[in-house]
Amino acid sequence: MPYDLTDEQRDRYREISLRSKARKQAMLRDHSESAGVLEEELNERLDPNDLMPQLDRHGLTALSLFSGGGGLDLGFERAGFEHLASYEILDICGETLRGNRPNWDVHSGSIEGDVRAAPFSRYRGVDIVHGGPPCQPFSIAGKQAGADDPRNMWPDFVRCVLQTRPRAFIAENVPGLLDSKFESFVDEFIISPLKGQYTIFRFKLAAHDFGVPQARRRVFFVGFRAARDAARWIQPQPTHGDVDTVFGPLLPRNTTRTSLGLPSIGFDEVAPTLRSGFTGPRNTTGVVNSKASMTVWDKLNVWPNGVQPTRSMAAAYTPENGHFRMSVDDCALLQGFPGDWRFSGAVYQVLGQIGNSVCPPVAYAVARQIAIALGV
């Protein structure tokens, strides 16, 4: 939504923007000299791979729909699943997936990658189908049009499950989908078409409960074809938190500054939810998703706008208030992507892929429990 600004505020923001542009140009001129300065001053960073140790392949296969930049795919791979294919409509996401896993069978673009036209019957016999059907129809940021939104892709996810008959399916979405206003939607488009053949569980998970240094909640639907597998299902339990659970002691939460390797300022906290760079009135290089979250970024002394393509460029382009400016690698880390997972595209496209993704350690936690339920 456009902000309601007075002329005075508009002039002030224009002035800030011009000053910022001039500083950025100076930074680009001097970049080669100042590059890497802050890099050397950083402490050790969080390695998200430690949150999801690679498990041996157990032989279970997966089909990935709406794969995006690969959050679910990566988590399932690290939990020992082998992907038969991934389908994603955006070419740039396909480039990311192929760039990281040249041996994967990635179908991307508006013809090859469109789930609405994909020939699913060829994957009959796959063990699991996973995917995050586009969530704009239900997100608080969107207009919450649900079934009337042309981006409602649940019927295509369901068609895939019915045609391939996997032992289990996993669908992820925004927590808004469990709001009472979407109860009939969930029943009509997810539960009713599948409940005759699958036992379905639904639950919410918070990324910071699984070591990701970000407050991010997602809803999951998990279904099992065999009653025996459904009976073995146990929802993933938090590994990180402040209060121990009956399942055992928890590790302390990972917080923003410590995870990014920044020096202590006497305050640290999990990062606010990162917004997707694909959403909003125009493509953006900022990850702020609300006014309240800006207050937290501010207290963290981290600058979440004008995200830079590299850490050295961010270090050379200090914001006026002296806060730490983030690069795409920092945002990826806060989402739980390890440093060796590279994203293709311009900054806003990378932020789009990051902000749309399931945090890989959360995907991993779900994938591990699925594998156990399937008896491996």
Ligand X SMILES: C[S@@+](CC[C@H](N)C(=O)[O-])C[C@H]1O[C@@H](n2cnc3c(N)ncnc32)[C@H](O)[C@@H]1O
Residues that bind ligand X (CB under 6 A): 66-72, 87-90, 93, 113-116, 132, 134-135, 153, 356-358
Strand partners, 224: 168, 199
User: How far apart are CB 103 and ligand X at their closest, in Å?
Assistant: 19
CA dihedral defined by 87, 151, 208, 93, rounded to 10 degrees? Answer: 30
**Closer residue to ligand X (CB): 131 or 297:** 131
Cite the DSSP H helix spans in the chain. 7-34, 37-41, 71-78, 91-100, 154-164, 183-186, 192-195, 227-232, 256-260, 291-299, 311-316, 328-334, 347-355, 360-373
* Nearest distance in Å: CB 243, ligand X: 28
Q: How many residues does the chain have?
A: 376
CB of 315 to ligand X, least distance (A): 28
Q: How far is the CB of 262 from ligand X (least distance, A)?
A: 26
Catalytic-residue membership of 331: no
Backbone angles phi, psi at 107, to 5 degrees: -110, 115
100 vs 369, which CB is nearer to ligand X? Answer: 100
Cβ-in-10-Å burial (0-12, 13-18, 19+) of 281 comes to exposed
Sequential DSSP letters for 269-300: -PBPPPPPTT-SSS--S----SHHHHHHHHHT
- In the complex with ligand X, which residue's Cβ is closer, 302 or 332? 332
Rounded to a whole number of angstroms, the minimum distance from the CB of residue 360 to ligand X is 8
Of 313 and 359, the one with the shorter C-beta distance to ligand X is 359
Given the residues 93, 135, 160, 331, the one annotated as active site: 135
| CA–CA dist 203, 236 (Å, integer) | 10
89/128 with CB nearer ligand X: 89
| Burial class, 327, CB count within 10 angstroms (exposed 0-12 / middle 13-18 / buried 19+) | buried
- Rounded Cα distance between 302 and 280, Å, is 22
Beta carbon nearer to ligand X, 79 or 296: 79
* CA pair distance 312, 39, nearest whole angstrom: 7
* Least CB distance to ligand X at residue 71 (A): 3
Which residues are marked as active site?
Answer: 135
